[in-house]
Amino acid sequence: MRQFLLTACLLGFLWGTSAQITPVTNTAFYPYGPGTPDILDSAADDGTSGAVSLATAFPFFGNSYNDLYVNTNGDISFGSAVTGFTPTPFPVTGNRVLAVYYTDIKTSNGGRSGYIYRRETTDAAILARATTDIQTALPADHGSFVATWVYIATWHDVGIFGASGDGHNLRNTFQLVLITDGCKSFTLFNYDQIQFLQGSTNSGNGTSGTGPNPAQVGINGGDGIHYSLHPYSRTTDLYTLPTWTDPAVPGPPGRWVQRTDLALTGDGPALVCPTGFREIGDDLCLKPHTQPLDYDAAIARCAELAPDGRLFNIRSQAHNEMLIGFLQRFQTRTGRGRGLWTGLTDKAAEGTFEWEDGTAFDPEGYTNWAEGVLEERQGGQRDCVFMKKDDGWQWNIQKCETRRERNAFICTAPKAPVPSEC
């Protein structure tokens, strides 16, 4: 009997009062709490786990981190604890944080008002589940992803700071799962129960759990620029997180999936010019193509070189001036008489010019026609405009598919997310 009591006491000591909790059965949630190797953090207000060393560095917004902090106020951070109780709107400088439900949470009302569990794991069943979850959620880009490491943090039945009256009964349960293969990384934000929007600080109401500054849900890269926000962040829609389904991402209700190894700009990834294209000005990506091709082949070649690649349309004096350097290179590398396709053509309707990218041609706007060209060379099968080297790069017109008079050209393509090395 004494032995039994000793064992019971020891278990009670190890688990605190956690043996009383029943983990939720929400299908979005990974196993946590009693029955798992989870660590249970002490009851706290604005507390933190302190630095937790990781067996695998977690890639996050272009860096990787060998430790993390699980913090009372509904977040995991890298580099330092993030325990402030005010959810300053992202982006903010300094905080590298995964804000799964960032508001003034307190787990120490009346001794215990909630349980924060955490563990890292390489358990085979968990890795298999994480692998399936990412492959299912993001099949086009990550259909062959294989998880090698997972971290699970769960805020179970947590209460608010400044709870009063019925506010003591308001509890939220949510979970943050970090997944990586050592190169790519992803996070799952899982929600089971949301009964309060915010704590009583920041003008909140400790009885109703409402107020003008609801919890922030999102990811902040820490450079003041890169971040991502859940569409319900800082709104009363937070109450419906447990039933929300991302229309673009297959998965169980109550889950938000984000990739986290790349830097994000605003609500999307950082954008760069495609490989082989050079950035001109703030947002143009150009690639000169000195091998002359006929008009249709030039268009096809641009489409091959990059997603959404197309013939660059030289339709302004600014474009012309900007391209002087390119033109000088064409001058030396392309054959005698070769020119440069401008992207202007009247092949669809004789006499009606339009740009290849679909924009209308404004004859009153910028033009650079060689003298007499429109009168002498517009008719017949001459439908494609090129900049003729021998005429000082003025505009001329020729057949689009003349073998002897193929032209060089410039391709352009939109910026795209940074290519992953993973």
Site residues, Ca ion (CB under 5 A): 45-46, 73, 85, 104, 106, 161, 346, 383
Q: Least separation, in Å, of the C-beta of 394 and Ca ion?
A: 17
Q: Least separation, in Å, of the C-beta of 10 and Ca ion?
A: 31
Residue (209 or 309) nearer to Ca ion, CB: 209
List alpha helices for 71-195, DSSP H. Answer: 124-137, 139-142
Amino acid identity at 407? N
Q: Least separation, in Å, of the C-beta of 311 and Ca ion?
A: 18
Measured distance CA(309)–CA(356) in Å, rounded: 12
Residue (267 or 362) nearer to Ca ion, CB: 362
Residue (86 or 240) nearer to Ca ion, CB: 86
Cβ of 362: how many Cβ atoms within 10 Å? 11
Residue (48 or 73) nearer to Ca ion, CB: 73
Residue (99 or 273) nearer to Ca ion, CB: 99
Measured distance CA(282)–CA(294) in Å, rounded: 30
Residue (162 or 274) nearer to Ca ion, CB: 162
Which residues are paired to 341 by β-bridges?
386
